[in-house]
Structure 1
Amino acid sequence: MSDAAASDAGDGDVQGVRASARGWLTLQLAALGFVGLCGALKSGGSGSTAPRGVEIVAGVLVLLALFVAILAVYLVGRTAWPHSGTPDDPARAARRLRTGLVLTFVTVLLTALAATSAWWPAPESEAGEGAATAPAVAVTTSAGTWCGELTRGSGALALSVRGRTVDIPVTDVVAVTPVGDCGSS
């Protein structure tokens, strides 16, 4: 094989790696968007039940995932669109592409690990029987007023009044007013 033929074969390999890198770049940008979305949800969320240490670790994992994603996009982008005038070795370009793809999957893994803190179980004092009760409401209908705590019902407004459930059709409700307690009702 002549030097010109070997050079053409090398250029073909590099062009194939570049084309592959351009295709993978779309997936990488989606992963970077996923990391950004998870970071925004993490910082905008409130009422987390996870311990403070777990929250800190999750925040660090999201930031680490962001930096890894940026590095991965750089590697794949540099493979897809190399610096002008710089000859590119096909083996080196393929290695950069492979490294960028591995880092992309590491990014998704780190983000998933960070997101697990959102599913931290609630402390027993919040989830158990000792949890705070629902606020009392006074429901006024054309037939009178009921006072109790809102409960789950089907097809009607369900109210727990002195230990029993009263279903009030929504069409009969005139007003619902929050009250401190139903002691005098």
Structure 2
Amino acid sequence: MTRPDSWLRITPQQLITAPPVEVRRELAVSLPENRKVNKYLRVSFWGKEYDVRGVPGVYNNDGLEIVRNPWRDSEAQVVMINEDGMEFFYRVQEVVKDEYGFTLNAPKLGESFKALPHTPAQHQLAEVEQAMYGTTCPTETAAVQKAKALPLGGRFNPYLDNERDTPPIYLPKQGQLSRIFAARFEERFNPLGTVDNDSQELFSLHSGR
């Protein structure tokens, strides 16, 4: 099959044409805009909300660089940096809402339940807990925590390094005696008080008391 024959087999639904000239000019001079991730792991951009739960490494109150997707109005693009320092785009979907402002694919009360994906911090916490309890999955970790098991099997000893290692013995060095002496306390009598007492005794003798 030749290339022209393959081109003729493309349907209108499969063929995506280039965006208008105005959009392309705008993209040529526009820069990514920084948006803050809310508690529902969404970002607001161009009057719409986009779901960023699938973006690797995203968490609440994080800042993301967002640009417009010229090929799909229902999507935006998150600008990210890979391990080689190169930019790449991660496409995120628009959150479609009904006339009352509720998400169309939201779980219904009493029928279904959906939890937000774990953040990188929660994944790291789960790995630390598995290492502390010697488990292989979060379910096992929750079970041993419910049983009030001690981390590391109760073998944790914060003084192990001091007990295991022998501290070095240093050679004594000759020094000088300290010139600081202890304070000396002296009890002194008030001479005026002594004179007053003697005067009272003499007055008592002369008065016959």
Normalised by the shorter chain, which TM-score bucket?
A: under 0.3
Q: TM-score, normalised by structure 2?
A: 0.20
Q: Whose relative contact order is higher, 1 or 2, with alpha carbons under 8 Å and at least 6 apart?
A: 1
Q: TM-score, normalised by structure 1?
A: 0.22
Question: Which structure has the bigger radius of gyration?
Answer: 2
